[in-house]
Amino acid sequence: MLQVTTGEAGGRSCAVARGSGMADMTLGETGRRFMGAAIRLARRHEGWTATNPSVACLIVRDGVIVGRGVTARGGRPHAEPLALEEAGELARGATAYVTLEPCAHHGRTPPCAETLIAAGVGRVDTATVDPDPRVDERGHAMIRQAGIPVEVDVEGAAAREGLAAYLVHKRTGRPFVTLKLAVSPDGLLGLAGIAQASVTGPEARAQAHLMRARHHAIMIGAGTAAADDPELTCRLAGLEDRSPLRIVIDARQSLGSASRLVASTDRVRLLVVGPPNPGLAGTGVEYIACELVDGRVALPELLDDLGARGIQSLLVEGGARLAASLLAEGLVDRLALFAGARPISLSLNAGQGIASPVRADSCPPGFRLTGEWKFGEDRLRTFEPME
């Protein structure tokens, strides 16, 4: 028999578990389940909210979700007013689950803490404190001052994982860097001279496209641009408009005007790291100046510059040299290692193998395994640096 001391609506006991069909769960467990659902909802707009984090808010009354909101494209409106709008009068006395502390500042919209208070919610659970100096516990304090109970750190670790890019960017000024590598069992990233030799199957490739959609920007070196002629867009059905900003490191002005990257600048922005290339005049390519060390782009400074432009998450897709440099310089926050099922050197006899800096079945030194998935015949493992 379930014992509930605090109900969703100012003491209406037991309603939480009855309505949600989660008898035998404690209120704390129920709260964590709703927060888990909010964290999953927030993932939908990851990479789509510009300099804002993708936050989600659920308004729960009597165990039923009556309002849902996730930070809108471009970062506004925030999650809370959207969820409250959906809930309408049902928000009165309900619990708000928010994956990040509600904001306390007057930006382009009024503070979400005030909006929650005005809506008359009976309780607010949040997953983590917002380190933005304009917020930083002020949102929680405002809500508590209005006499509304607040619980912080509900599913905090899971929420911080989802907010990692925002939190890292706030702390370091640099984007969160995910290095994606697809490695064949024979340790190759591809075959020189054979554009886009397939290491993985369609399921893993679809997942890689989803990763693109969830990042603010995607980056490759000019060598990969020349060898693979990739478009670097998200081509999943329904998510075509989620393609991130594309960045090519091209210190030697080698990017060609006929490349797919340049040909698609009318649809998706392309930023070249390097000196402006007269051959690309009028194509819509944008440039960012870079510092050179021994003729190569200084990566820490580049990350600082990208961070200063508000880029919070960066997916690096190649090539081998850029990957090796990022790893050697300790600039990788997450390694996404796709391991293909079939050796590629056997399936094609032309071309020379491009060796991966990381073997498909190994954990790079200084990293720890954080996740493992299977996509068709292929496997994806993620690694993060040890603290």
Whichever of 103 and 154 has its CB closer to ligand AOF, that residue is 103
Please report how the helices 79-87 and 112-119 are oriented relative to each other, as an axis angle in degrees rounded to 10.
20
Closest alpha carbon to 72 in 81, 63, 84: 81
Q: Which does 39 bind (CB under 5 to 8 A by kind): ligand AOF, Zn ion, none?
A: none
Residue 143: CB minimum distance to Zn ion, A: 12
Residue 206 token pair: 């679809």
Whichever of 80 and 317 has its CB closer to ligand AOF, that residue is 80
DSSP 3-state percent helix, strand, coil across the chain (nearest 5): 30, 25, 45
Residue 126 host element (H or E): strand 123-126
Phi, psi at 182, each rounded to 5°:
-115, 115
Residue 135: CB minimum distance to ligand AOF, A: 5
- How far is residue 87 from each of residues 81, 90, 116, 117, 213, measured CA to CA in Å? 10, 5, 12, 14, 29
Sheet with strand 270-273: strands edge to edge: 286-288, 270-273, 245-249, 217-221, 313-316, 176-183, 334-339, 378-385, 367-375
The 35-74 site mask, x for binding Zn ion (CB under 5 A), equals ----------------------------------------
Closest alpha carbon to 313 in 85, 35, 53, 106: 53
Asked if residues 33 and 125 have their Cβ atoms less than 8 Å apart, the reply is: no
Residue 124: CB minimum distance to ligand AOF, A: 11
Whichever of 22 and 72 has its CB closer to ligand AOF, that residue is 72
Q: Which does 132 bind (CB under 5 to 8 A by kind): ligand AOF, Zn ion, none?
A: ligand AOF
Residue 174: CB minimum distance to Zn ion, A: 24
Q: Determine, following the binding rule CB under 5 A, whether residue 112 of this chain makes contact with Zn ion.
A: yes
Active site residue 86: no
Asked if residues 14 and 134 have their Cβ atoms less than 8 Å apart, the reply is: no
Q: Determine, following the binding rule CB under 5 A, whether residue 180 of this chain makes contact with Zn ion.
A: no
Whichever of 103 and 335 has its CB closer to ligand AOF, that residue is 103
Q: Determine, following the binding rule CB under 5 A, whether residue 140 of this chain makes contact with Zn ion.
A: no
3-state secondary structure at position 57: strand
Residue 38: CB minimum distance to ligand AOF, A: 11
Whichever of 103 and 315 has its CB closer to Zn ion, that residue is 103
Q: Which does 135 bind (CB under 5 to 8 A by kind): ligand AOF, Zn ion, none?
A: ligand AOF
Measured distance CA(243)–CA(216) in Å, rounded: 9
Q: Which stretch binds Zn ion (CB under 5 A): 59-67, 75-83, 153-161, 218-226?
A: 75-83
Residues at the site binding ligand AOF, with contacts judged by CB under 6 A: 52-53, 55, 71, 75-76, 78-80, 100, 102-103, 107-108, 112, 130, 132, 135
Query: From the candidates 80, 101, 155, 317, which is the catalytic residue?
Result: 80
By CB under 5 A, name the one of 27, 83, 91, 103 that touches Zn ion.
103
Residue 167: CB minimum distance to Zn ion, A: 17
Residue 107: CB minimum distance to ligand AOF, A: 2
Residue 233 token pair: 């867009």
3-state secondary structure at position 313: strand
Whichever of 169 and 379 has its CB closer to ligand AOF, that residue is 169
Measured distance CA(142)–CA(124) in Å, rounded: 12
Whichever of 28 and 107 has its CB closer to ligand AOF, that residue is 107
Measured over the CA atoms of residue 125, residue 129, residue 134 and residue 140, the dihedral's sign is positive
Vertex 84, ends 78 and 89: CA angle to 5°? 165
Q: Which does 171 bind (CB under 5 to 8 A by kind): Zn ion, ligand AOF, none?
A: none
For binding to Zn ion (CB under 5 A), which residues are involved?
78, 103, 112
- Known catalytic residues are 80
